Amino acid sequence: MRFIHTSDWHLGRAFHQVGLLEAQRAYLDHLVEVVRSEGVDAVLVSGDVYDRAMPAPETVQLLSESLIRLVDAGAEVVISSGNHDSAVRLGFAAGLLERAGVHVRTSMADLGRPVVIEGTAIYPIPYLEPRLVARDLEAEPTHTGVLSTVLGRLPAGGLVPGTATSVIMAHTFVTGCATTDSERDILAGGLAAVHPDVFSGFSYVALGHLHGRQQVSDSAHYSGSPIAMSFSEARHTKGSLLVDLSADGARVELIEAPVHRPLAVLRGTIDDLLASSKFAAAESAWCQITLTDAQRPLGAMDRIRARFPFALELRFEPEGVVPVKATYTSRMAHCSDLDVCCDFLSHVRGGVPASDEERQLLDEALGRSREHRAAREDEGQVGAA
């Protein structure tokens, strides 16, 4: 079987308030051509199709058109929902779509039912919030506990009659993998990441959630997002994974995606940045620029954009100057929700840290809040952040 592994399209995403829909459209055009030129049997999308639980109409239209074109190009499409997707909305009309070769799996009801294509049993596992599903699954309320329980109920190696290979699609964070600044944390509340051994025994594991392409084990891969969504991804080579799967193993090849506009991370004094020829390639890129001048230049952004018209973020880090204490917002930017709550509690009572019992209470409160929000999103009351 020959298939494409892709994930984290995040259709409708904005990058520093710049919409990415045209870049996403270009990627999907490219994907259709790859399916046609490479004789691809299936396209596997491992979650986060949309960026929000309530996508805009033009975003839904783009997905609809792209699915039609992928099927017309000769591939079946298998989609599992991610933590950004609304399972109810993405799964609408799934039974009808399946008749046309588009297999959308978003509910627990289909966890043990594979999509069989060219002798391969494919199990699209939707993102499962442990606090919402652990009780029904009789599993530990962690990502590891939930996924271990789900995979443990599948046939040995995931094989069913008429199949020789198996594929697991999962949207999760695997221990030891590299993250970027553009992923939403799914580990809030102290939930553990998933160990790679959870996926042992299957022919290929098509992972989603992390936006950087990486190999987890001999058979498990993250395809990464096809488009960069943070400056931490400036050095990534984005694309899709073309996989030839047989009983002898998987041969995996990167198919690079078109770059709508490159990213550049620049650093230096404003005079150097505006004059040096070494920065010429960044003139057509989305730029994150850090100025190191001892004093903040007047009209810095206007001057920068005279040379770098697509500059999106301007930072100031004077060299040789004692740094000012970071703001609360910047200090807490990469902390979990639980850490933010505990830090606030410590702050309001004069530096006394949260006790273990208090952390547990806050953890439980956050979990209930996530459950309530997830229910409201599926009822159409709010969108994903």
Ordered DSSP codes for 33-96: HHHHHHT-SEEEEES--BSSSS--HHHHHHHHHHHHHHHHTT-EEEEE--TTS-HHHHTTTHHH
Helix runs in 225-281, H state only: 270-275
The residue ranges of every structural domain in the chain are: 2-256, 263-316, 328-378
Q: Which CATH number applies to 2-256?
A: 3.60.21.10
Q: What is d(CA 140, CA 123) in angstroms, rounded to the nearest whole number?
A: 21
Element (H, E) at 24: helix 21-38
Q: What is d(CA 287, CA 284) in angstroms, rounded to the nearest whole number?
A: 9
Q: What pLDDT score does 378 carry?
A: 60
Q: What pLDDT score does 382 carry?
A: 40
Q: What pLDDT score does 344 carry?
A: 86
Q: What pLDDT score does 336 carry?
A: 79
Residues in the chain: 385
Beta strands in the chain (DSSP E): 2-6, 14-15, 18-19, 42-46, 76-80, 102-105, 115-117, 120-124, 165-171, 204-208, 214-215, 220-222, 239-246, 249-256, 263-268, 286-291, 311-316
Phi/psi of residue 34, nearest 5 degrees: -65, -45
The model's pTM is 0.85
Q: What pLDDT score does 153 carry?
A: 96
CB-count burial class (<10 Å; 0-12, 13-18, 19+) for 122: buried
pLDDT digits (tens, 9 = 90+) for 258-302: 999 999 999 999 999 999 999 999 999 999 999 999 999 999 999
Q: What pLDDT score does 32 carry?
A: 98
CA atoms lying within 13 Å on the CB side of residue 86: 21
Which two three-digit tokens encode residue 287?
């730029």
Neighbours of 236 (CB within 10 A): 17
Q: What pLDDT score does 270 carry?
A: 98
Task: Kindly state the DSSP code that residue 292 receives in the 8-state scheme.
Answer: -
pLDDT digits (tens, 9 = 90+) for 60-85: 999 999 999 999 999 999 999 999 99
Which two three-digit tokens encode residue 246?
């047989």
pLDDT along the chain (385 residues), means of 10: 98 96 98 98 98 96 98 98 95 96 96 97 96 93 94 96 98 91 64 84 97 96 98 97 97 98 98 97 98 95 98 93 60 75 78 83 81 63 40
